[in-house]
Structure 1
């Protein structure tokens, strides 16, 4: 029996058009617009690139004074940057900033200049999963900005996109469904096909234009995972489907300091794997009653899921080094939101991050330009707006970084002041 997929007489589709074709055409149209945006932002190379950091900003990242950095440049062994204006004003790539850090650490042994985790001190790979089963919580926005902030501090970071909508992948300048096959995504780790499946994450890693920040991309094909994993489980009764990602992480343990996982907005095989692979769970929650109600269901679902999986693992319960809640999309002038945040603080106490990520026009502007906030220059938006948004982002991300230090048992004396 053949299914009739033609439009009914009262359909909103144009007469004679195939509804399925319309969806396909619209999908391709969105891809075409996305390519145009990337081309405009990346002209003339048609590939996104990270801006140069002026001397003052580069010095701030390295944690030295601007005059100290200028003095270092008198030694030609240090990266010299690029002249970007009059009076010999210079700009530095992130790779040059990291090179200066490394050279200073080699010369002085000062822990302030260390790039990445200290393996000899037992600092383990930090896996941060950013999860919320409701869309619109700014989950992807913060995943990307957290990964980029950590890269700016010199850590080697891997961003894993587990959402088939591939928003995080797109923010790094890729056109996911055009540039990648589903075998380029985590699908290849989970696939039912034994001949295609791998257990090593390294073949999936894509370099980005951020020094020290790589990505495992996603695309629409990743969604096939949700259909193939249950069939694979039926065929392989011994398969612990919830630990497929966690079991693959040792293959890249020596390559990265921190992994950031961006989850789909649903309880899925992929999101369960991301939660089970994490040692740090970060949940962004907008301060509205609807989002707060959804967050309650999220925690209930996580509780029930982990309880069920604990039974499957002989009573061994999944543990985390840290679980933190982040107030996202905070409207500072909204008294109702302010009250809700106060209640959250009194109830959740130590698990609620002190800093909140406020809604800013600068963050919206960055999104419209298909850039992250860290890729903007102050001249792209109003300077006061830019600095206020940057302060919110940096404060939140620095607090998350300090949680990572606590996990690593890194003390301020070892790390120096930030």
Structure 2
């Protein structure tokens, strides 16, 4: 490839320079994935050791060992001396299904109970400021729910496609823009599809699919206003919500990772949500930005209500999550106390602390749930895992409340 002509102070062909840098970033990202995913150049979820599998299943290790000795039950893989075994997530989920079928105990239920009217829950993770850990928590929430046996769809609505990249994909090489949510919004009726199910791609996590994003998704922001002018009846703010029924029979929970802006895509994700989750780092700048976020959401919902005959968008729950919390920072501690006084029940009890382990996982292009305990200091690893699991378990309990489950029923 030709290189952009450069001068002492800059470049004479910036278009070529930016294209070079874009392609260079893709090449480096591909190389990272190949190194980490040797030998077959695709990411895999680590095997789950017996003690961890037993905790996920809520049974004792001895009970699990007894089960796998029975005919037809997943046996796992021998991974060390003494016949120590580990399991794939698919095997853990199969054991869950068999336990539920054998006992009828709600603790082993995999996913929602449609017979009781438990509906598809859409969790939208949104904040219009970058750096609030939206993508980090969207990915970890989706993976946590998958570990608990739920069927999850993660929708990447950010053209930067960080969530997509976390699953070992190179967005602008692996996908066309018609592989993204752009396909629901495009002006071209021949390319448009009414089925969100067509866009869902399986990941290497059992039970977790993704609707990917790439740079082409940003074209949505230009096409929607033009389409609205041509189709006066189009409710552009409900395109995603109207597409959700096509996946209702396939998933228990949908997680939407929003871009850091008030965009057509963000508005759609908010309007599709049962549960709106707003991550807020405890700093004055982030807190000020969050105030503007709530003001903009208020004004947007008010405007859309007028367009819908006065019908205001309703949520089953709204939660604020403190992220990037530095437990030793007295100023942050004070700010969190003020947040608790102001936001009361809306503020989540658990907070996501800033940990070395979480940073290390991101640097290795892995989620925290994909790390081996040996990848970081064990004490640091367990501390970060405790924070992450506590936050996600609290969100899971909100999902159970939306389903109307009684206290403790099916709790993990």
TM-score by length of 1: 0.96
CA distance 1:88–1:226, shift in 2 (3 Å): same
**Alpha-carbon distance in 2 for matches of 1:344, 1:7:** 52
**Alpha-carbon distance in 1 for matches of 2:408, 2:72:** 29
* 1:167 maps to 2:162: yes
Q: Tell me the number of residue pairs that the alignment of Structure 1 and Structure 2 aligns.
A: 409
Choose the corresponding residue for 2:58, options 63, 72, 85: 63
Structure 1 residue ranges (4+ consecutive) displaced by more than 6 angstroms after TM superposition: 6-10
CA distance 1:30–1:239, shift in 2 (3 Å): same
* 1:402 maps to 2:371: no
What are the within-5 Å matches in structure 2 for residues 124-139 of structure 1? 124-139=119-134
**Alpha-carbon distance in 1 for matches of 2:205, 2:383:** 24
Where do 5+ consecutive residues of structure 2 fail to align?
none
1:271-314 per-position Cα deviation (integer Å, ceiling 9, x unaligned): 00000000100000000000000000000000000000000000
Aligned to 2:211: 216
SS at match of 1:251: helix
SS at match of 2:291: helix
What are the within-5 Å matches in structure 2 for residues 187-206 of structure 1? 187-206=182-201
* 1:18 maps to 2:13: yes
Choose the corresponding residue for 1:307, options 302, 305, 309: 302
Choose the corresponding residue for 1:51, options 22, 43, 46: 46
Choose the corresponding residue for 1:284, options 279, 283, 286: 279
Aligned to 2:30: 35
**Alpha-carbon distance in 2 for matches of 1:413, 1:268:** 38
Aligned to 1:266: 261
Aligned to 1:257: 252
**Alpha-carbon distance in 1 for matches of 2:5, 2:362:** 36
**Alpha-carbon distance in 1 for matches of 2:314, 2:9:** 51
* Backbone CA RMSD of aligned residues: 1.2
**Alpha-carbon distance in 2 for matches of 1:141, 1:413:** 28
**Alpha-carbon distance in 1 for matches of 2:71, 2:95:** 11
Shift in Å at residue 10 of structure 1?
A: 7.7
CA distance 1:171–1:413, shift in 2 (3 Å): closer
1:347-388 per-position Cα deviation (integer Å, ceiling 9, x unaligned): 100000000000000001100110000000100000000000
Shift in Å at residue 99 of structure 1?
A: 0.2
What are the within-5 Å matches in structure 2 for residues 63-142 of structure 1? 63-142=58-137
Aligned to 1:385: 380
TM-score by length of 2: 0.98
Shift in Å at residue 227 of structure 1?
A: 0.2
**Alpha-carbon distance in 1 for matches of 2:299, 2:7:** 46
**Alpha-carbon distance in 2 for matches of 1:36, 1:135:** 26
* 1:178 maps to 2:148: no
**Alpha-carbon distance in 2 for matches of 1:99, 1:223:** 39
SS at match of 2:27: helix
**Alpha-carbon distance in 2 for matches of 1:149, 1:237:** 41
Aligned to 2:371: 376
**Alpha-carbon distance in 1 for matches of 2:107, 2:6:** 67
1:208-239 per-position Cα deviation (integer Å, ceiling 9, x unaligned): 00000000000000000000000000000111
Aligned to 1:3: none
Choose the corresponding residue for 2:351, options 353, 356, 376: 356
**Alpha-carbon distance in 1 for matches of 2:37, 2:99:** 33
**Alpha-carbon distance in 2 for matches of 1:171, 1:247:** 28
**Alpha-carbon distance in 1 for matches of 2:353, 2:359:** 11
1:232-262 per-position Cα deviation (integer Å, ceiling 9, x unaligned): 0000011100000000100000100000000
Shift in Å at residue 412 of structure 1?
A: 3.1
Aligned to 2:311: 316
SS at match of 2:250: coil
Shift in Å at residue 9 of structure 1?
A: 7.5
CA distance 1:225–1:360, shift in 2 (3 Å): same
